[in-house]
Structure 1
C-alpha cells in the first residue's frame, strides 16, 4: 500500500502553482498509510479524515486540488523541493518542523499518544519501544533516553511488537485504536502521552498566500461546526 504513488496528472514543477479552469492547482501531499487520518482505499484512492477535510478546504478556498502520496520519512524534503504544495498527513505542529516549513493553524487538537503491547504489565522505561521514524513519538522516546527502534511505516512498528523485536509501540491513539480492537494479542497500557501542538497543514515558507487561504477555510469550518463533525465521524480525538 505504501508504494502506491497517485499521479492524477503529469505536472511540471514550477515555483508557482499551476492553473486549471481559472483555479490554482494545489498538489496535496499525504502518506496514505495512517488510518483513519489517511489511507488508500480498495479503489486505490486516498481516503480518510484528511481526504474529506482537504477536499472541503480546497472547495472553500476555491482551489483545484490533486492528491499524491509520499513516504513519511521524506515527506518534508519533497514538499520543500516542490513535488507537491501541501502536507496534510496527520503531521503535528512542532517548533523543529516549523524551522523548515510553515504550518496553518491546527485542524485538530493534540491527539493522545498511546502504548500498545502484548502485555499490560510493562514498564516502558525499561522496554524496547517501536515508533515510526521522524515522528513526535520517536523524538519523545529518544528524549527520555529509552530504548528506541525506528521503522519507516506504522505497519512495521506493529509487526515489530508482534514478532518480539520490540516490546511496545508508541503512536497516536486514534491510529492504534482500530489496530488493538482487531488484534486479540495487543492491549493498551494505561500510560498515555500528550505530544505536539495539534495537527496542521504544512506549506513552504514562501507560500504565505496559500497558507492564508487554507487558514481562512479552516476557520470557516470551525465556525460552522463542520470540522467538529468530521472529527467526530472519523473518531480523531477531541472536538474544538
Structure 2
C-alpha cells in the first residue's frame, strides 16, 4: 500500500491556501462608464479597472459581485460582499450606515439631458435613478420626480417623452448627448457631492485602510488621473 506523506512545506502551502481570503467587490453593473456588463457577461468600466488595480496593489484576491442599486447597501451590511464600488457619491446620510474610503473621483457634476434646451426642469417631470443624490435634488427643486431602478430606465423615460428631462451624473450622460443628435444638455451643471468613494462595513476599518492607501498612491503617481481621463472623459475633473 502506498502511503501519502505530506511534507512540512506542503502542509504550510495548504494552510496558506485555506486561510487566503477573497475580497468581494459589489457593483451595480448598469451605470456606464463607471460600471456595466460587457458582451462577455463580465463587469467592465472605470470601476472595474480601478478595483482590479487597487486589489493588485493591496495584494488581495478579489472577485466581482453585481447587485441592484436599491439594495446595494443593505446587502453589503448583510455580508453578501465586502465593499461597494459602484459610482456611489459620499453623503452624510449614507455615512451613517457605512464607512467611505477617500474619494476616487473629485466632486463631479450632475446634469440634465432632454430633447429640448427649454425643457421645464423645475415645474415639469424629471426622471432620475432612485436612491441617488440626483433623485433627492429633483424633489428639492419642486419638479415632479419619476424614479426608476436603473439609469437606463430613467434615460428611456426621457427618450420616450414620459419625462421632460433626465438628471444624472454628467459622466454617464456625456456619451448619450454625443451619440444621439436628438438629445441635448438642458440647464446648468450642478455639483452635489464631495466625490465618489468605496463603501465598507463600519466593522472593517482595516480593509478600508488598505483601499485608502491604494487610492492615495494612485492619486500621487498619476495613474488615477490617467484612468479618469481614459474612462470618464477628458473633461471629467481630476486630482
What is the TM-score with the length of structure 2 in the denominator? 0.90
Give distance in 2, aligned partners of 1:191 and 1:228: 25
Give distance in 1, aligned partners of 2:85 and 2:232: 17
Match of 1:66?
A: 63
Does residue 126 (structure 1) correspond to residue 126 (structure 2)? The answer is no
Contact kept? 2:90, 2:196, Cα under 8 Å: yes
Give distance in 2, aligned partners of 1:86 and 1:143: 30
Give distance in 1, aligned partners of 2:17 and 2:139: 45
Contact kept? 2:77, 2:201, Cα under 8 Å: yes
Instruction: State how 1:111-150 maps to structure 2 within 5 Å.
Output: 111-150=108-147
Give distance in 2, aligned partners of 1:188 and 1:102: 34
2:91 to 73, 94, 119: 94
1:84 to 72, 76, 81: 81
Give distance in 2, aligned partners of 1:143 and 1:204: 30
Shifted more, 144-153 versus 208-217: the winner is 144-153
More helix by share: 2
Gaps of at least 5 residues in structure 1 are: 1-18
Gaps of at least 5 residues in structure 2 are: 1-15
Instruction: State how 1:51-62 maps to structure 2 within 5 Å.
Output: 51-62=48-59
What is the TM-score with the length of structure 1 in the denominator? 0.89
CA separation of 1:20/1:84 partners in 2, compared to 1, >3 Å: closer, same or farther?
Answer: farther
Higher Cα radius of gyration: 2
TM-fit CA distance, 1:23: 4.0
Match of 1:3?
A: none
Does residue 215 (structure 1) correspond to residue 212 (structure 2)? The answer is yes
| Equivalent position SS for 2:119 | coil
Does residue 37 (structure 1) correspond to residue 38 (structure 2)? The answer is no
TM-fit CA distance, 1:52: 0.3
TM-fit CA distance, 1:144: 2.4
